[in-house]
Structure 1
Amino acid sequence: MTEPTNAQLRPRRGRPGRPTSIARHGRLTRRHPFVALGKILAGIAVVASVSAFSLAGIAVGDVVTSTKPAVVLVNPTTHKEVTKQQGIAALQGSFNVLLAGSDSGDGNAAYGKRGENLNDVTMVMHVSADHQHITVVSFPRDMLVPIPSCPKEDGSGSYSAMSSQKINVSLSYGGLACTVLTVEKLTGLSIPYAAVIQFDGVVDMSNAVGGVPVCLSGPIKDPYTGLNLPAGTSTIQGQQALAFLRTRHGVGDGSDLGRISNQQVFLSSLVRTIKSADTLGNPLKVYSLAKAAASNMQLSTSLSNVQTLASMAVALKGADLSNIVFVQFPTNYVPGGGAVAPDPAGERALLTALQNDEAVQVTGNTGIGSVQDPTHATTDAGATPPATAGSTPTTAPSDGASAPAGSGGAVALPDQVHGQSASDYTCSKPFSG
């Protein structure tokens, strides 16, 4: 069976023969970043690491040639400074990376008949100026947002602005550059780096690390993705890992919101696996991670050189697991339909913290698709106490105004903002609808 798409909900502009999503300097293939954060962290962390091994010369050259044609963002003058990165010193100050992708399956028949070129997963990774805190925000695919006027991919003009559409149509109207413009308008953040990622990257990445352990609070079956896992902990890789990350009907309430928190179970475990000595101390795994990341991502021009990737690695290598925080952009359901809209209080608190380059602390639960793992402590051994779910920070005001500092000076987000840190052990929650 093939998971239904929401292509029928996509707005039509009455333009017969409108071109598919084509980058202005190279084809923007249809991608999906189900392990977007894991791959971007792996890619930037291991490109620098390979230089420590005898495989360095071969690996770096091979990884660079694996990257696909770069995508030019809409406003390169705004992001001019990021294209001039020289040397392998850490990037200076805070920075943001957007990861987007399509649910089309990149034309692979193994994934069934897919819909149009929709960015059904959109994430932004914010790295603080001191490089000690990383906040990864997942934007629900059905969230209604304004979409600005975006240049057509063939350079023949621009698409009209739209006042309220689901965020996952942005990739269809101007490609990756339009998704970046949309998220910049929504968040008020400058996003100089971006990437699009495909289904097969999940398979390659999970294989490269030798599998990722995930916990399930009960058995999960999903006939749409073919997922069938027992309760407890399973180490998954390859197509099974892809099915786990694609599942929507098997977790939570069957919605995309449940899928986001289920993905965060995998992402947090993937980050722990990548940062473990067993991975970083193994040159073959390091090389495989770099290769898997580069082979399955299409990058913006600002990301498409090994010096920039290595400089990001230097900036990120010291971040503690407890300071890598995954959050779901806060929303409320819109009456009478399957869409959601930003929750004003939660949105204001989250975006203010990001704009002010402040660390965040999740005070709400992990989301409807996951629960805390009762068999593990809430923090990784040796890690500092996490600013995440399960802790008891200073309570944030319910209206989201001037949220007080939580543990370690982090901003305590209102409890309608769900998520976890990479040091939190969580379990996927089976569908209960």
Structure 2
Amino acid sequence: PGPLQAPAQTRAAPPARAPGGRRGGGRRHGRDGRDGRKRRGRRALRWSALVLAVAILGTACAGYLYYQHLNANLKKDPLNIGDSKDRAAEPKANAAGQKPLNILLIGSDGRNNAADQKLGGAKDTFNTAPRADVQMLLHLSADRSNMSVISMPRDTLLRIPKCTDPDSGKVYPASTWPTMTNDSLGRGGPGCTVATWEKLTDIHIDHFMMVDFSGVVSMADAIGGVPVCVDANIYSHTSSGHGSGLKLKKGTTSVKGKQALQWLRTRYGFEDGSDIARTKAQHMYMNSMVRQLRANATLSNPGRLRDLAETATKALTVDTGLGTVTQLYDLSKELKKVPTERITMTTMPWVYSSDGNRVLPRPADAAKLFRLVREDIALDGKDKRKTAKPETSTDPAAPDDEIAVQVQNGTRSGTATAVSGRAGTIARLLAGMGFDEAVADTSTLLAEERTVVRYPSADLEGDAQRVAKALGIPTSQVKKSTDVSGVTLVVGADWRSGTKYVATEEDDTTPKSASALNGADTKACMHVDPDYTW
């Protein structure tokens, strides 16, 4: 009973009495009429229940079939197709039993279908291997209080690890020379891009999501447009035909469809025309899209939600761990827990390569940014937390005089050249302490922010920790790494002189070179190169 209850029908007036004093022609006739009405009422009730049951069953079947349809839309690939021994270790749960989530977002420039080819690009790239032109690592904190994103410029030079194509079985050997990171996608699929990130950052990646050109266009349409800002009229076009074709007036414009894709691809016309400027524009777009999704009341419309679900599932390639609509929905609920003001967008700190045409990870700053994510420290600086004390290895160390130690010079930094002879100095120090097998590797000059002891496998962990203890190096600076073949001490930029190592407290602030942008920043606006105004 309540406001949705139908009003009671008004009781009908009694029929006129028939001759003899009986109503309606007699008592028997009245009883038969009432019984007939009851039987008809019960039959109607049964039919109503049957129709309702069929309707419910039909709706459930339709819902199930549509759910299966959406699942079939999703394209799935293996998560990591590199060597399993190179995988980064999974993070440990916090005191509440929660673990962080790391998801690699990949934007493919593949032009292997008519829809993508129609959206532009040089024809000589049609039907060639796709490239991972957009790469963003999304880190969701264990307590779901904050989210951090690290973008890697597409022309970053890295050594891509060995990958095996899951479809053809073709093995792509590890690159001998630094290679542009966007080539990783063409070496067997997104699982190779994941392997490349894990190799570089030592961050365990749980999932990936990849979208192509046409997917960006259709999803922007389904959302209803994303507001973006430029500080002057812009036309991304050169006389030789380069540029995305983006044409906007000064101020804020809601872009969707092809125009949204143009925004995400624009390099000519934004700031210095570099891939770094394009990354900044992508961050602004993503932040604005998140705010738009959370504020857009039209998404409560079932039709709009259905369109978005249809579009998103057709646009995405995911790992098998996100291969159903239910899994994607569960992920979205986790992401939704983070307030917009606790989302931080960053770019991997970088330096130009020797030829000035490509970039490299900035040694100290990039390593620091990756560490903050590994240790689940928020990049907005609002909840710095101390990591758990590293456990002592259960593997007993060999006698000091039997531990082989290679010492390398890592004292070079972004602002200072390497200190000559440091590897030899510390190797002699170790030898004087009884580590007779310590030798200096004078052929290698590295850039390491903090002194570190690396070891390749669990059976050498105890030996590595013993070397660190002898020198006063914290156990937290003893790391497992497949880049070394034995216990390796890298003398870092924090130990440029002297023979006594002084451990310093780690700085947990985000490097300025990461160009952090807060998700709630509604005033962000791209600077337009005056040569591209109209």
The two structures have a TM-score, normalised by structure 1, of 0.70
3-state SS, counterpart of residue 512 of structure 2: coil
3-state SS, counterpart of residue 513 of structure 2: coil
Corresponding residue of 2:105: 99
3-state SS, counterpart of residue 412 of structure 1: coil
Q: Name which of 273, 276, 299 aligns with 1:257.
A: 276
Residues 298-345 of structure 1: CA distance to partner in whole angstroms, max 9, x if unpaired? 111111022321221232221000111111111011132411000112
Residues 74-131 of structure 1: CA distance to partner in whole angstroms, max 9, x if unpaired? 279899xx9xxxxxxxx95211111223323343332132534221111111111111
Q: Which moved more, 1:100-109 or 1:213-222?
A: 100-109
The question of whether the paired residues in 2 share the 8 Å contact of 1:273 and 1:279 is answered with no
**Cα separation, 1, equivalents of 2:190 and 2:530:** 35
Q: Name which of 360, 364, 369 aligns with 1:341.
A: 360
The question of whether the paired residues in 2 share the 8 Å contact of 1:349 and 1:403 is answered with no
Corresponding residue of 1:246: 265
Q: Which one scores higher on RCO, CA 8 angstroms, separation ≥ 6? A: 1
Q: Name which of 513, 518, 522 aligns with 1:416.
A: 513
**Cα separation, 2, equivalents of 1:174 and 1:339:** 24
Q: Which runs of 5+ in 2 are unaligned?
A: 1-61, 91-96, 238-242, 385-414, 416-447, 451-504
Corresponding residue of 1:427: 525
3-state SS, counterpart of residue 185 of structure 1: helix
**Cα separation, 1, equivalents of 2:83 and 2:223:** 35
The offset of 1:70, in angstroms, is 3.9
The offset of 1:289, in angstroms, is 2.3
The offset of 1:58, in angstroms, is 6.9
**Cα separation, 1, equivalents of 2:304 and 2:343:** 22
Corresponding residue of 2:136: 123
The question of whether the paired residues in 2 share the 8 Å contact of 1:144 and 1:164 is answered with yes
Structure 1 pair 68–253 and aligned structure 2 pair: CA distance change class (3 A): same
The one-letter code matched in structure 1 to 2:521 is D
Residues 1:199 and 2:218 are matched in the alignment: no
Structure 1 pair 304–171 and aligned structure 2 pair: CA distance change class (3 A): same
Map 1:69-88 → 2, pairs under 5 A = 69-71=76-78, 73-74=80-81
The question of whether the paired residues in 2 share the 8 Å contact of 1:92 and 1:129 is answered with yes
**Cα separation, 2, equivalents of 1:279 and 1:422:** 22
Corresponding residue of 2:152: 139
C-alpha RMSD of matched pairs (Å): 3.0
**Cα separation, 2, equivalents of 1:261 and 1:340:** 16
**Cα separation, 2, equivalents of 1:207 and 1:156:** 37
The question of whether the paired residues in 2 share the 8 Å contact of 1:386 and 1:423 is answered with no
Structure 1 pair 386–208 and aligned structure 2 pair: CA distance change class (3 A): farther
**Cα separation, 1, equivalents of 2:187 and 2:208:** 16
Corresponding residue of 1:65: 72
Residues 1:315 and 2:334 are matched in the alignment: yes
**Cα separation, 1, equivalents of 2:257 and 2:158:** 34
Corresponding residue of 2:436: none
Q: Which moved more, 1:197-206 or 1:70-79?
A: 70-79
The two structures have a TM-score, normalised by structure 2, of 0.57
Map 1:279-318 → 2, pairs under 5 A = 279-318=298-337
The question of whether the paired residues in 2 share the 8 Å contact of 1:400 and 1:414 is answered with no
Q: Find the structure with the greater CA-based Rg.
A: 2
Corresponding residue of 2:228: 214
Q: Which runs of 5+ in 1 are unaligned?
A: 1-54, 83-90, 363-384, 388-397, 405-410
The question of whether the paired residues in 2 share the 8 Å contact of 1:141 and 1:256 is answered with yes
The offset of 1:386, in angstroms, is 11
Percent identity over paired residues: 32
The question of whether the paired residues in 1 share the 8 Å contact of 2:83 and 2:163 is answered with no
Residues 1:356 and 2:375 are matched in the alignment: yes
Structure 1 pair 180–72 and aligned structure 2 pair: CA distance change class (3 A): closer
Residues 350-375 of structure 1: CA distance to partner in whole angstroms, max 9, x if unpaired? 1111110111128xxxxxxxxxxxxx
Structure 1 pair 102–315 and aligned structure 2 pair: CA distance change class (3 A): closer
Structure 1 pair 63–358 and aligned structure 2 pair: CA distance change class (3 A): same
The one-letter code matched in structure 2 to 1:324 is I
Corresponding residue of 1:184: 198
Structure 1 pair 103–221 and aligned structure 2 pair: CA distance change class (3 A): same
The question of whether the paired residues in 2 share the 8 Å contact of 1:403 and 1:412 is answered with no
The question of whether the paired residues in 2 share the 8 Å contact of 1:124 and 1:137 is answered with yes
**Cα separation, 2, equivalents of 1:119 and 1:307:** 27
Structure 1 pair 142–75 and aligned structure 2 pair: CA distance change class (3 A): closer
The offset of 1:230, in angstroms, is 0.8
Structure 1 pair 306–102 and aligned structure 2 pair: CA distance change class (3 A): closer
**Cα separation, 2, equivalents of 1:307 and 1:330:** 36
